[in-house]
Structure 1
Amino acid sequence: MAELWERLQVFGLSQYEARTYVAAVQLGKSSAYQLSKASGVPRARVYDVLNSLVDRGIVMLEEDDEGNKAYLPLPVDVFLDRVQRQWESAFDKAGSELKQLESCDPTSDVYVATVRGEQNVLSFCRMLLKRAKARVLLSMWRPMYNRLLPELQAIHQTGCSIKGIVIGVDEPIGDLYAHRMNEYMYSIDKPWFILAIDGKELLYGHSVEANGNAFYTDDPVHLYLLEDYIWHDVLVNRLVQQGGEEQLDGWILPERARFFDITD
């Protein structure tokens, strides 16, 4: 029930209003006392809450000749339709106004912004993928790749190029290359991702399952370095595959440790 109350609060109801409306739906026609008892809203507050719901048309008030008051909930289908229409209208208007503000005073300065939270990172990725016109470059591990696969498939069907490298994926879509797995790859405890769109926008950082931050930028230097990193990763994997994986990995891994002064 607590989750339902929280969902109703997203629609603009206070916690007490959400609890009272849910109780009204459960009880049907009922008194303020019954609603207070069923919802857990204190009797000292339930009248104010009911008056608010009545004013908003979410609960209906009936009063008999003797002054006794009874409350009925707005039918659920009517309530949901009303909420949906209000939400869609507010969403469209807010989106239009925000986009106008965004385009009013564009800045020429490049910047890097931090994106925090699993859902925010995924939403940002999906937004970038929807904006892709010609080319997507990515480097990504399987868990995050799977989360974004529907969006990747959708833009792939439009003819948008998808290139790069994925780790732990057996049959990637587009021109994605499957990264070889070796001792070094298995030792990585915080996987990363890189997502570059049309050579103009970039999101990179810890993969969502690593519970870290991601960083957005339109800085050309960032774009060049990380797009080139993806290409070099693809190139090395191809060369290793052609030259004998065990033999070259036996040389590459010690050389990497030597380059970065890794002694363990």
Structure 2
Amino acid sequence: METESLVETLEAAGLSPYQAEAYVALLELGTASATDVAEASSVPAPRIYDVLRTLEEREYVETYEAGSLQARAHSPSVVLDDLRSRANRLEAAAEEVERRWEQPELEAGGASIVTQFRTVIERAESFIEDAAHQILLSTTVSNLQRLAPALRDATERGVSVRVSVHTDDAETRPDPTLFEGVCVEARHRPLPAPFVALADRRRASFAHHPDSYDRYGVLVNDRTHTYVFYWFFLTTMWEPWETVYEATDPGLPTEYLDIRHLVRDLRELNWQDAPVRLRVDGYETDTGEERTVEGTVVDVRVPFASEADTGFELAGRVTVVLDADGERVSVGGWGAIVEDLEGTRLTIVDAPTVE
């Protein structure tokens, strides 16, 4: 480092310009009189005595009388400790500034706009690590590989994970081995798409496609806002696209992403003519407490003309009623209010074989 740069750095570390110049001059001179130090630096002669005394107080130099005031640089250990301590504080401050800029705290019921995709995917990873019930993910192959360890851990602890992988075209198909141990089902969207990660119906992490005109991300810790992202995921990232991986062979038990998916299959199973046994993991709508119920389907209430109607109905109330050991329990989907339970995981555990 050149002398000028060293002086500037010492000034940044807290020395005055005169103190920095006098100290650097003493490092080069070794031991010198106050007059010699003044001549070797730009410190005015009348000021050099005060400058040397303040440096001595900081333990940068030591002075003594030998006919005239003499000075020499003190052992550098104190100086080095001081500079390194300042460097550590500056580094810590830089990291804190970056953290506060990129990762605003998400309070319950809160949403934040961020500018860096790194923040979006890091938050998605933390959401996945904390998830207890369900994860829905729309991502590229490369980002799936980055999140795979967290997704694999979630799957192993019983979280229902579903992944929609998007590629730039239909010719680029994801390798099914990417999904082994990572999710229970995967679909392929052969079009660019935003990054979306939803965890436990409460947390959402969203970012536009990198080629999009808009460049920002959204972080959500709120059921209502996450519900909007859920419908975006369901209608554009999931429902229209081909399944490319399923963790289990067709058969029972069969787990459902949404109560509407369940109702669609209940029609095919002719639930009114043969018993269909359903297990529901969810929350009591009046208390918010977790509850698991298993029983036989005894009623299906839909907002359309009849259960024979085809298509994936996206609006209106859908309710499934179970007989659980003599108790009638009504089950709704995400955001259920009037039913007994909001079902977060719906699993057919026994049903007649469809010919």
| TM-score, normalising length: structure 1 | 0.48
Quick check: which has more Rg, 1 or 2?
Answer: 2
| TM-score, normalising length: structure 2 | 0.38
Which structure's relative contact order is higher, taking Cα pairs within 8 Å and 6+ residues apart?
1
